[in-house]
Structure 1
Amino acid sequence: MEAAVKTVLAWVNNLMFSVRIGEVASQLGGHVILVSSNEEIIEKLEIHPSLVILDLTAVSGGWQETVAKAKETGVPVLAYGPHVNVDARRAAEEAGCDEVVANSKLTLELPNLLAKYLTNAQASY
């Protein structure tokens, strides 16, 4: 039986985070596609990714609509940002993100967070 292809779309500014997300996804049998715009995420939703990750310091105007589009297609969204940026984190929760975590929690719990979304992922054919 062929293994499911588990794809994560990640809009991440921080190189260390993007490398770490890629490493952990790979360990879980998945892979990461780095994106850098709302349009790019919306375009790639057609491949039915297992998860969208948003760095709240990277996103640009209109990202809340992108979250809504992902949710419409059944794709969970994980957002993260500095713990001091309460407004951005609140906006992410209000936009419908499945989880909103501080950078420190993302760093500590990345394997568990990704496993939650990638373990039950279906192959996208």
Structure 2
Amino acid sequence: MPFLTDDDRPLDELLLAQRPDDGHRFQVRAPFAYLDPVGGQRYEVPVQDAASSPGDAGDGAAGSDLASVPSALWGLIASYGRQSAPALLHDHRSAVAAGSATGGPPSRSAASTTGCSARRSASRGCRC
């Protein structure tokens, strides 16, 4: 999978913090990147500010709910696992596209395409 640590090693773990401690949002504690295998573009996912609460806007510190799974399906489908890195990439690129994260606002379609490409790479079957 084309997910890498910030020093270009294959990503073998995600360091996340649950915010608030009893909540359903997570913040990235160690940066990672996605290398698009088709276009060669590198997409960075930075560390999110632990001092910001998940509801804050402005720097993308709102965190992620990982893969949004309706609560009725929680017993069947986990919101975390192999899909966590693609979900975090998607959430960060969406924040960038909306202008609430650093990195300049690319088009929303660029964020959606990147997220779909990452999910397809992880699941080998995304039909987004």
Q: Return the TM-score normalized by structure 2.
A: 0.32
Structure richer in strand, relative to its length: 1
Q: Return the TM-score normalized by structure 1.
A: 0.32
Q: Give the structure with higher Rg (CA).
A: 2
Q: Which has the higher contact order (CA 8 A, sep 6+)?
A: 1
Structure richer in helix, relative to its length: 1
